[in-house]
Amino acid sequence: MFQSNGFLFTTETTPAVTTDLAESAGRIDSLVGIADAVNVTDSPNCKSSLSSLLVSSEIRKKGLDVILQLTGRDINRIALESELLGALSIDVNKVLCLSGDQPPEDGPRPVNELNSAGLIELCHQIGQGFLADRVEIKNPLPLFPGAADDLYEQLSKPDSIEKLLLKKKQGAMFVQTQFCFDFEVIQKYSEILDAHRSLDDCKILIGMGPLKSAKQADWMRKNLWGINIADEILSRLELSDKPEETGENICRELIEKVMDLPRVDGVHLMGPSCEERSARIISSFR
């Protein structure tokens, strides 16, 4: 993935609440040979699921590259180090480092020993062959940490770029952004990135995805912070006899626009149960 000079396509899968490993890993079969990598999420929305590391291992056996999502919300540094060593042992060497969705007050108790920046730093150190307490790792392997970023925050808060630059300094080698369906926002974001040469060797992937319906799009823009979905997109979905197909076309059109922007190296397609829809979108560009 990091050696590619072409436009990158990644997507995501969320392990099921199941003991059937084959079924959960099999959700990505349509992406094999098409996507550059698939993110395996880490208990999103504070909901338990089958082990993301176990699902990642099964996906690697299918020949698809994996980006393991890992949060500092649920486990402490010792457990995070064990998880990262386990990932390297199954040829998973890319990790999207997140702080994680915080649970409600009456929910499970978070750990939060390491935030996303601390986790990036830990990954970088393990990639150098040492644990946090300087214990040397036998048979060390490279580890490539990544960071999340919010386009809208970058545009509205001038000091936000400093947070991203710090994550890059701590070792982040790629960035996957939050959802964005607004080309003008993506264009302005690319201009901000282009002004900082220290990010030149960091792969930037813009988050987007195939919308399933006008109802879903309306819910997202009302309930997910920082997401702006234009009325025009909502109208297209409402008027369509095949809203899922229309949602895929809207996503394709946006990808075509962003492909030539400076500092945009690819897209990251997200959404619930979006594996097959993502595969169709990516296939149209291959």
Query: Residue 29: which CATH number?
Result: 3.20.20.220
Work out the burial of residue 15: count CB atoms within 10 Å of its CB; fewer than 13 is exposed, 13-18 middle, 19 or more buried: buried
> Is residue 63 predicted with pLDDT exceeding 70?
yes
Mean pLDDT of 70-98: 96
Residue 40 near residue 69 (C-beta atoms within 8 A): yes
Q: What is the pLDDT of residues 18-61, one digit of tens each?
A: 999 999 999 999 999 999 999 999 988 888 999 999 999 999 99
In a domain, 229, yes or no: no
In a domain, 281, yes or no: no
Q: Tell how far CA 6 is from the center of its chain.
A: 18
> Is residue 110 predicted with pLDDT exceeding 90?
no
- Domain count across the chain: 1
Mean pLDDT of 68-77: 94
Range of the domain at 61: 8-210+261-271
| Rounded-to-integer distance, Cα 77 and Cα 90, Å | 20
Residue 64 near residue 28 (C-beta atoms within 8 A): yes
For helices 52-61 and 77-89, the axis angle rounded to 10 degrees is: 10
- pTM value is 0.94
Q: What is the pLDDT of residues 172-203, one digit of tens each?
A: 999 999 999 999 999 999 999 999 989 989 99
At 2 the pLDDT is 66
| Rounded-to-integer distance, Cα 66 and Cα 12, Å | 9
In a domain, 253, yes or no: no
At 233 the pLDDT is 93
CB neighbours (10 Å) of residue 189? 25
At 227 the pLDDT is 79
Work out the burial of residue 197: count CB atoms within 10 Å of its CB; fewer than 13 is exposed, 13-18 middle, 19 or more buried: exposed
> Is residue 4 predicted with pLDDT exceeding 80?
no
For helices 77-89 and 116-127, the axis angle rounded to 10 degrees is: 50
Locate 210 and state its tokens.
């195939």
Residue 188 near residue 180 (C-beta atoms within 8 A): no
In a domain, 93, yes or no: yes
In a domain, 223, yes or no: no
- 198-to-143, 147, 155, 173 alpha-carbon distances in Å: 20, 15, 19, 11
